[in-house]
Amino acid sequence: MEQIIAEIESEDGLEGYHEFGKKWSAMVQNDKKNAFENTKKLFDEWHKAALENRIREIVKNDGNDDLLNKD
């Protein structure tokens, strides 16, 4: 946890981890039998969202706004 806290660069980042923790905790409490598989899914969703956000950030910083509007 110390490493995560040290790497958080903004209040939004901290809030993101907080929301993730709440979601994970509720998920495990609601379905303990499938906690491992559900945790894997949650981490996959988290990583996908983080990568998509990073890609948007890179494209935006490169000035290729046309690529952002292809959805």
Interval 10-62: pLDDT, tens: 777 778 888 888 999 999 999 999 999 999 999 999 889 889 988 998 998 88
Q: Residue 48 has what pLDDT?
A: 94
pTM: 0.61
**Using 50, 70 and 90 to split pLDDT, how confident is the model at 65?**
low
**Using 50, 70 and 90 to split pLDDT, how confident is the model at 63?**
confident
Cβ atoms of residues 19 and 34 within 8 Å: no
Cβ atoms of residues 1 and 8 within 8 Å: no
